[in-house]
Chains A and B, each alone.
Chain A
Amino acid sequence: MNDWRVSARPVLWRPCTWLQALTRGHFDLARLAQPQLRTRRRWIVGLVLILGTALTWVSGTKVREYELAQAEAEVDRQLIAVAEEVTRRLQRYAVAVVAGAGVPDARATVSAPDWQRFVQSFQLPYWLHGASAMGYAPLKRDASEQWHAPVQRLEPANTPVLALANQNLIRDTRMADAVMTAVRANEATLSRA
């Protein structure tokens, strides 16, 4: 007789034996084979199906949660890498301006060839990625104690910000604040142009 229940019996037997041992004899396959226990058999099959479905759903959910957590962690890793690279680049700019502060002589003047030589030594597009130009502006105070900083040197000569040359760097209160903050703290200070 080609009955799947008969052919499946050896496969099912071992887990059933384990169950029998675990449940101290309450789960007995031989007893369940009796016709009067058909209802119980259906219950067990139903229970196994429900348990299987639930376990599949739970494991699927857990796998998805794990994948999401991995994806979130990857974003954070990438963002931290970007932040580190931005910090590295800003530190390079800071090194450049600190070095530039050593170019003016004792009379606080900067000759055009000196400034050109200094800026060329940085190879802007390569060593200072993102830097368009480097400049120098002497600070002057007028009779009304207002600060002015006319841009005296700007390199390279073909800079896209050439319009800055001879312009007053301190054009608004934001820039004035940034300049004074840099002066008082003697630190490289960022400001919107």
Chain B
Amino acid sequence: MTMAGEESHVVLLLMPTYKGGQVPLDSEERRRAAAGIVFVVINLDSLFQGMSQWIETKGSFSVIDAPIMEDPEMLLYQSDIVAKGSHTHSAEVIAGGRVWQIQFKRTRRPG
């Protein structure tokens, strides 16, 4: 998506609204009663930058959208520092029906 003239990584968090303001109990009923979508536009660069000074200065920090079912892996964010090497630390964030994998590679081994 283009943000202020620059290409940027953006995700949307979507929440449905239903006719009459009531949420039908049945999922098929919900599909029929769906009236609109409220969404928040999340700029991934703003979200992840400044998350941890330690992480950002010690190595390469990236976030991959690792969907449960569809699509291949997608890179959501890559820090400025790019570290080579195979040893990767990772942690997962599960939210909004997605699994985001946070990966970290040291620029060099300690010691």
By the criterion CB–CB under 8 Å, are A75 and B106 in contact? Answer: yes
Q: For residue A103, which residue of chain B has the nearest CB?
A: B38
Contact among A72, A79, A132, A169 for B46, CB-based, below 8 A = A132
Residue of A with least CB distance to B110: A71
Q: Which of A71, A183, A187, A193 contacts B41 (CB 8 A)?
A: A193
Which parts of A4-29 form the interface with B (CB within 8 Å)? Answer: none
Specify the chain A residue showing the minimal Cβ separation from B19.
A108
CA distance A135 to B40 in the complex (A): 6
Contact for B96 among A83, A85, A188, CB less than 8 A:
A188
Judging by beta carbons under 8 Å apart, are A136 and B38 in contact?
Answer: yes
A78 contacts B by Cβ under 8 Å: yes
Q: Is the interface of B mostly helix, strand, loop or mixed?
A: strand
- A78 to B48 alpha-carbon distance, docked (Å): 14
Interface string of B84-99 (1 = CB under 8 A from A): 0000011111011110
Q: Give the contact-size bracket for chain A.
A: 35 or more
Complex contact A82–B55 (CB within 8 A)? yes
A177 at the interface (CB under 8 A from B): yes
For B97, give its contact among A85, A106, A181 (CB under 8 Å).
Answer: A181
Contact partner, A184, options B10, B11, B30, B41, Cβ 8 Å:
B30
In the complex, A184→B44 CA distance in Å? 26
| Contact among B31, B38, B46, B106 with A100 in the assembled complex (CB-CB below 8 Å) | B38
| B51 and A93 contact, CB distance less than 8 A | no
Decide if A187 touches B97 in the complex (CB within 8 Å).
Answer: yes
Shortest beta-carbon distance from A46 to chain B in Å: 32
List residues of chain A with CB within 8 A of the CB of B34: 139, 183
Q: Which of B40, B51, B89 has the most chain A CB atoms closer than 10 A to its own CB?
A: B40
Scan residues 4-21 of chain B and give those whose CB is less than 8 A from a CB of chain A: 4, 8, 10-17, 19-21
Q: Does A190 contact B (CB under 8 A)?
A: yes
**Are B10 and A186 in contact, CB atoms less than 8 angstroms apart?**
no
Chain B residues within 8 Å of A192, by CB: 10-12, 65, 74
A81-115 interface (Cβ within 8 A of B): 81-83, 85-87, 89-91, 93-94, 96-98, 100-106, 108, 110
Is there a chain B Cβ closer than 8 Å to A62's Cβ? no
Which residues on the B side are within 8 Å of A67 (C-beta)?
A: 110-111
B10, B13, B30, B100: the one contacting A188 at CB < 8 Å is B13
A-B contact pairs, 5 of them (CB 8 A): A78-B104, A79-B89, A82-B55, A138-B36, A181-B97
